[in-house]
Structure 1
Amino acid sequence: MTAYDFYCILERLTDNTGVEPPDRYEPFLRMARQWRHLHLLKRAGRGHAASGCDGTAAGELALLCPVCPHPKINLPEGFENAAPENQCLYVMTLGLDACFRLKRRLISSEQRDPGLGTGLSYVVEPEPYREYLKTVTDQKEMTTCSGLAALDYANTKFSRGYATTGVVMGVCARHEFVQPNGVGDLQKGERFANTDWVFASILRHLDPCIRKIVLYDIVCQWAVHVIERLKELPPLMRLSMLLQLFRFVIPKMHIRGHTVNCQVRYSLNYVPGSGQTDGEGIERPWANIGGIATSTRVSGPGARHDALDCHWSFWNWLKTVGLPKLLRRRLDMAKEEEVVQKAAFEVFTLEQLKRVSVWQKMVEEYEADGTKPNPYESTEKGLTEAQVRRKLEDEEEEEMKAGKTRVNDVSPCGFVSLGLELEDSQRKIRLQVELKKGGSSESSKESLKQLRRKFTTRLTRFRTLQATYQPSAIQTLTRREVPPEELPEQVPLMLPSALPPHLQISPGCMPGLADIENTLREAQCRAALVRLRNQLHIKARPCQILG
């Protein structure tokens, strides 16, 4: 319910005679805003502080997660020197993400509408943040590793008419508490500069000795130079990170949209102490806050920040009162899962007893030093198609140096490669035909014509070379009865493997041509298996979620 609807109800309950009462809507909004701010101060006990409300520090009104590690609050003395098997107890998980629903139009200004408590709870301090962003130009660091929406928004053009295009936020990924000074406005997409400031702002409130797991859906791009960028922040936020205490990973659902290399390097499953955290806790507060997006979109900057702070404070309070039930449920699940996993682990260990010591050493070395070979990474054996071509071309050059005469400017390897490329073009054309069945537009039909025209041009060149390298194929094609409505994608190419064995030898076919084709096809199969495995990995997670 919006404030206006609530006010109208109060107005009708007060006087429903139809006579127009005095308009108290604006005073009601100011009163509600002041009431929210006073309650934030009251809940933080600022009335009992010697410095009073004016002495409130940045982020001091935020409600902290009571079960995340906080030295001198819920951690024992000397936790930094805990045994390796107990260090997982003192790990902080931070989730970062951006939401593009929380926009704000070009309405009002900081001078006309300052926040009553901006910077005192969840939103970052406005003035230093604004001054910092003035010094940051467009960043060119983002690449196309991930197919997720964050990269599409990286340099978005959907910012016209908006002073704010969204927010970037940090939460504790296990319990989903919004962090003190952990929210910053976005001006143009999900730039690294905004995330850097919010990340550094969160770290100011955390003990530097605590180990941290940082989750972000584009961490494979953002974390590459994050340490260098944090060192260049203004003095208020500048900090020096000890890399050994940080692990940068991608949440478990989002990682399926990344390349295999990212899935291996930034998987949460391979991080000691991560447990069964899915890392997607940052997504859940967005569903809760989305309801006020339409109201805050037309608010001034101060009113918007005050409203968001109030809602996130209530969100953190709901999480606080729900923690006992949540932790008990997770404990019961962990006990049940421990029995299953322990039994499976023991059976697997017995069956692979000879390899266990080697595997264990590899895992321990990798966990101690991330630069060591990753034991979880699947290896690819054999040469790639490009490497095979290069090898065959080198062999042909050696034969020419030895006195062998080349029958054509195009080498045998080049001829077979052209045939395989044409075969791939036919597959793509057939796929386009299937996709465009049933209501294709004129532009798509024209595109299909261009594909067929291009294929026909290349096929003519291939037939010329085929007359030199495969005369038996040309003879077979000449005797073939051509269907009257045969399309380019249906034309047989007659590569060496398509000929009978007695026609794959001289004089019907150049010797060794079938072997070249076989070698190139094996390389193609290896590459196809890698792509297939990647697609299966991508599909696996949705199948697990949907059951």
Structure 2
Amino acid sequence: MRLCLECNGPNPEYKCQDCFGSELHCSTCILSVHAHHLLHRLQRISLKALGLRIQLGHITGQQCVNPHCAFNDDFVIIDMFGIHEVSLDFCGCAIAENPKTAATFHVLEQYHLLSFESKISGYEFYHGLCRMSDNTGLLLIKDRYESFMQMIREWRHLKMLKRSGQGHNLKGVEATAQGECAVLCPACPHPGKNLPDNWKDAPRRWLYGLFLAIDANFQLKRKAVSNDSVDPSLSSGWAYFMEDEAYKGFLDSNSDNTQEKSTCSSHNAVNMADTKSNCGLTATGLGTVNCARHNMKWPNAVGDLQKGERYVNMDYLFFSTLRHTVIDTLNVSYDIACQWHKKLWHRMSTFPVSMHLLPTFKTISFFIPKFHLPAHIKECQTSFSFNFKSGVGRTDGEAPECGWANINPIASSTKEMGPGAWRDTLDDYFGDSNWKKVVKLGHTMLHKMKDALPERQDHHEALDDLEEGLRGEYSAALAQWREHVEAWEHDPAKPNPFERRAETVTMASVRLELARDDQNDIQTGTCLALHEDCTPSVLISTGLELEEQQRQMKADRAGLRVHATDNQEGKMLQRNNTLQCRIDTWTKLQELYMPSLTALCVSKSSVSGGIATAVATPETIKLWLPSQIGKTAPCDTCLQTIEWKLRYAQAHDALCSLHSNLHAQTAILKYKDHNLHGQGANTRAQNTLKAVEARLEAAASMYEHAHKALVTGWHSSLQPLNRADIRSMTDLLWGNQRGQENYLGSGIYMRIEWCKARAQAMCWAEEVELLKEEMQRILQFFEWDVQCWDERGLEDALHDMDDDDEREGLIAYSKCQALLCRRLAESFRTSWTDTLALADIFNHSLVTQQDMDID
């Protein structure tokens, strides 16, 4: 017979599922054992059913002496293991109201962290607890979901206040300032916190510049649910969201402003900002401002969007967050910066004076993130590029894009919230995201520095190799290029050395111009077309196309092997027939515009003496374009002018093709050398290189024919092509020297290539300096934070408090936080020591080498 473990009584029948062991107890002993384990679960019965009661304000099991003690048999406690119904005794000395539900700190903390990491909704978490309590559906579990969500919201709010030090504010929580609860980025410059006193007068002020990135997210929508009077925010403007009343008031007063259209590419963010559908939505998304190098949200830098990405919303975010800094060197990244920045100061005049910036005291540079840059026109790609601007290191501006994927999964649960709960919840998520980045800064900065050091060395050597190759033929030009690029760096209004200043003419633009001329002639009745389907410009343009097809046919026929397959021979013959038909048709039209051509052909035939020759293939037929006739036969000057324009554009197209294919060849060779292994991969790479080489040969042949035609019939400024100049840029750009070989690559775009190589070397050198400065700032920020917590925990400051327990708790918490900051700083400093020492060695060797080069 089994006995009770406590009293040795017979027939024990109760076992606890949460206690360690499998012993059975009687009803009296099981209640006694669980006097301090009120939420343990028994098998087949609850502690409440056995008579356990909870007394608030007194030791469990003792009766309250207050005659007005009340009872509640429907009280529910939510903890990590489920939902528990208990019997509650309480009185006015414990609580003033009749409580219905409570949750343990453990379950609130558990959900808080799970919501950050797994993005689990409150609904899913709560009903998971219900199933832990009963997964059979046989027990009736009281629904306390609404109460649980209210407690979670209060928990988030109280945690934010506690961690930001507002619990130590003797003036109370209401004295909290705007943005004071935000987790700041320790690596960003904060005067008075992590910058030297003389930072404004420092010779390298670019090291103290602030990098901001603006972006919008249209996944985090909010439906038209509730309103601010019913569901106000618990902390309006204390963290990342702006104070909503002032924000919405300003938007309402500027609701009639029409956003100007984009003069760059047709960006939907600009052109569709006022037309985005908001049916059933109060917020179509979020606008934010982050630090561009560390991807942390800035205080008062988040706001909801009522339509699309309108300037008025994004302007308010930008000016709102800048109230929290006095840094006067700003680097601002925005995917539509080329349009947004144009009238920024004019739009600022409509904002409250407290949000105004003084442009004369601010050095502001605007950039487009690197991934977004190719979608812009070429002018923007050079004027707003991080790659060509000094003082920005290797910043890419894409930081906000990297964070959306992490937070977007909560969109399904937050879109149904009221306005206050929506803002408070997102504030908490942004705060957690910032904090996780803070504690990972040790690893993040170390990883960046380890990547930057070899890159700086490699690009410096590549630039040296390039300049060594340029010395001689390009020595004088090199000095001039350096002067121009330095002048542009000091004054961006001067000519941009990264832009191709040479004349840019394309076949497409010339054809468009000729088509417009034909249209004008038709409308004015001066058209000289001798055929309804073929104007003079169409005739010459088609002739050049046929000439290009002849060159391609000749190259393909030469590449055909001796034992070609029937399929290959068949396709070649089909192309041959098609080309012959097109040439025959074109020749008949040509005779209308060039009647002297018949006599010329007869003359050529008589010179040959009538000797029979083999049948000419289509690629060998002479087309007798105006440049080929020369002075041997009269030709309309209109046709000559048209051919000159098209030939000139054809030559420029060929040069552009040479340039792009040389770049492709360089990139393929670099990728092949660094990444490809094995016969299969290298064979595929070789085939790709052969295709590039074929395009290079075609472009070179096109240029040579165009240049020959231009210099035969007319004067041209274009130079003859030296085949030795058509060389891969690999050795110049990546520093792979081949002895003393003067390997100049393509001499066509050397100025731009040198400017880019110089910019890349400078960017990596600046990146190393920025990383070193940011590491130092992080350590200084933690020292400042330690001092703040020490000051909050001074007993002298808290000695007037009546509650000794509260005062001791505040002192203990401040010491705990100060210790945490010290430990983080020491951990970072230890992990960085060796790498920073190596960076100093590399820097010393680099400076020594530069001094030797100067000497």
TM range (shorter): 0.7 to 0.9
Aligned counterparts of 2:227 and 2:465: Cα–Cα separation in 1? 66
Aligned counterparts of 2:289 and 2:662: Cα–Cα separation in 1? 31
Aligned counterparts of 1:278 and 1:182: Cα–Cα separation in 2? 20
Aligned counterparts of 1:13 and 1:339: Cα–Cα separation in 2? 59
Q: What is the identity, as a one-letter code, of the residue corresponding to 1:27?
A: S
Give the corresponding residue for 1:360: 482
Q: What is the identity, as a one-letter code, of the residue corresponding to 1:321?
A: V
Give the corresponding residue for 1:21: 141
Aligned counterparts of 2:513 and 2:238: Cα–Cα separation in 1? 65
Q: Within 5 A, what are the aligned runs for 1:520-531?
A: 520-523=646-649, 526=652
Aligned counterparts of 1:78 and 1:535: Cα–Cα separation in 2? 51
Secondary structure class of the residue paired with 1:268: coil
Deviation at 1:470, TM superposition (A): 3.4
2:311 is aligned, of 192, 209, 213, to 192
- 1:232-279: CA deviation from partner (whole Å, max 9, x where unpaired): 212342333347511001011110111111001101112212111111
- 1:381-431: CA deviation from partner (whole Å, max 9, x where unpaired): 266779989999xxxxxxxxxxxxxxx92369x9433546789999xxxxx
Aligned counterparts of 1:371 and 1:240: Cα–Cα separation in 2? 20
- Would you say 1:469 and 2:587 are equivalent positions? no
Aligned counterparts of 1:420 and 1:188: Cα–Cα separation in 2? 52
Aligned counterparts of 1:541 and 1:167: Cα–Cα separation in 2? 39
Give the corresponding residue for 1:204: 323
Q: What is the identity, as a one-letter code, of the residue corresponding to 1:66?
A: P
Alignment CA distance shift 1:268-1:504 (3 Å): same
Aligned counterparts of 2:623 and 2:349: Cα–Cα separation in 1? 61
Give the corresponding residue for 2:639: 513
Q: Within 5 A, what are the aligned runs for 1:310-389?
A: 310-353=428-471, 354=475, 355-381=477-503
Aligned counterparts of 1:140 and 1:111: Cα–Cα separation in 2? 31
Alignment CA distance shift 1:302-1:541 (3 Å): farther
Give the corresponding residue for 1:115: 233
- Would you say 1:34 and 2:154 are equivalent positions? yes
Give the corresponding residue for 2:199: 79
Q: What is the identity, as a one-letter code, of the residue corresponding to 1:251?
A: P
Alignment CA distance shift 1:535-1:141 (3 Å): farther
2:526 is aligned, of 409, 415, 420, to 409
Instruction: Pick 1 or 2: higher relative contact order, CA cutoff 8 A, min separation 6.
Output: 1
2:301 is aligned, of 182, 188, 193, to 182
Aligned counterparts of 1:257 and 1:423: Cα–Cα separation in 2? 35
Aligned counterparts of 2:433 and 2:511: Cα–Cα separation in 1? 60
Alignment CA distance shift 1:288-1:389 (3 Å): closer
Give the corresponding residue for 1:126: 244
> Is this contact kept in 1: 2:540–2:625, CA < 8 A?
no
1:160 is aligned, of 257, 263, 279, to 279
Alignment CA distance shift 1:339-1:46 (3 Å): same
- 1:171-218: CA deviation from partner (whole Å, max 9, x where unpaired): 001111111011111111111111100000111111143x11100000
> Is this contact kept in 2: 1:227–1:240, CA < 8 A?
no
More displaced 10-residue stretch of structure 1: 516-525 or 170-179? 516-525
- 1:1-21: CA deviation from partner (whole Å, max 9, x where unpaired): 211010011222234562332
Secondary structure class of the residue paired with 2:331: strand
Aligned counterparts of 1:131 and 1:154: Cα–Cα separation in 2? 20
1:216 is aligned, of 323, 330, 334, to 334
- 1:58-112: CA deviation from partner (whole Å, max 9, x where unpaired): 11110000011111111111111221xx223211110111111011111111111
2:178 is aligned, of 58, 71, 87, to 58
Q: What is the identity, as a one-letter code, of the residue corresponding to 1:67?
A: A
Aligned counterparts of 2:659 and 2:278: Cα–Cα separation in 1? 39
> Is this contact kept in 2: 1:133–1:193, CA < 8 A?
yes
Question: Given the two structures, how large is their TM-score scaled by the length of structure 2?
Answer: 0.50
Secondary structure class of the residue paired with 2:440: helix
Aligned counterparts of 1:463 and 1:148: Cα–Cα separation in 2? 47
Aligned counterparts of 1:468 and 1:200: Cα–Cα separation in 2? 69
Deviation at 1:228, TM superposition (A): 1.5
Q: What is the identity, as a one-letter code, of the residue corresponding to 1:516?
A: I
Work out which of the two has the higher radius of gyration on C-alpha atoms and give 1 or 2.
Answer: 2
Deviation at 1:150, TM superposition (A): 3.0
> Is this contact kept in 2: 1:504–1:511, CA < 8 A?
no
> Is this contact kept in 1: 2:295–2:399, CA < 8 A?
yes
Give the corresponding residue for 1:251: 369
Alignment CA distance shift 1:272-1:311 (3 Å): same
Aligned counterparts of 1:147 and 1:367: Cα–Cα separation in 2? 29
Give the corresponding residue for 2:806: none
Alignment CA distance shift 1:415-1:504 (3 Å): farther
Alignment CA distance shift 1:325-1:382 (3 Å): closer
Q: Within 5 A, what are the aligned runs for 1:391-430?
A: 409-410=526-527, 415-419=535-539
> Is this contact kept in 2: 1:105–1:161, CA < 8 A?
yes
Question: Given the two structures, how large is their TM-score scaled by the length of structure 1?
Answer: 0.77
Q: What is the identity, as a one-letter code, of the residue corresponding to 1:75?
A: L
Give the corresponding residue for 1:297: 415
Alignment CA distance shift 1:528-1:164 (3 Å): farther
Give the corresponding residue for 1:45: 165
- 1:102-147: CA deviation from partner (whole Å, max 9, x where unpaired): 1111111111111111311011110111011112225232316235
Secondary structure class of the residue paired with 1:376: coil
Aligned counterparts of 1:420 and 1:335: Cα–Cα separation in 2? 57
Secondary structure class of the residue paired with 1:299: coil
Aligned CA RMSD, in angstroms, stands at 3.9
Percent pairwise identity: 38
Deviation at 1:523, TM superposition (A): 2.6
> Is this contact kept in 1: 2:126–2:145, CA < 8 A?
yes
Secondary structure class of the residue paired with 1:204: helix
Aligned counterparts of 2:512 and 2:271: Cα–Cα separation in 1? 36
Q: What is the identity, as a one-letter code, of the residue corresponding to 2:138?
A: G
Alignment CA distance shift 1:311-1:390 (3 Å): closer
Give the corresponding residue for 2:122: 3
Q: Which runs of 5+ in 1 are unaligned?
A: 393-407, 427-461, 477-493
Deviation at 1:533, TM superposition (A): 7.3
> Is this contact kept in 1: 2:540–2:639, CA < 8 A?
no
- 1:422-481: CA deviation from partner (whole Å, max 9, x where unpaired): 89999xxxxxxxxxxxxxxxxxxxxxxxxxxxxxxxxxxx999977633478999xxxxx
Aligned counterparts of 1:321 and 1:475: Cα–Cα separation in 2? 88
2:399 is aligned, of 275, 281, 302, to 281
> Is this contact kept in 2: 1:250–1:268, CA < 8 A?
yes
Q: What is the identity, as a one-letter code, of the residue corresponding to 2:175?
A: G
> Is this contact kept in 1: 2:369–2:386, CA < 8 A?
yes
Q: What is the identity, as a one-letter code, of the residue corresponding to 1:221?
A: Q
Q: Which runs of 5+ in 2 are unaligned?
A: 1-119, 515-524, 547-585, 601-620, 676-855
Alignment CA distance shift 1:53-1:381 (3 Å): same
Q: What is the identity, as a one-letter code, of the residue corresponding to 1:376?
A: F
Secondary structure class of the residue paired with 2:304: strand
> Is this contact kept in 2: 1:123–1:184, CA < 8 A?
yes
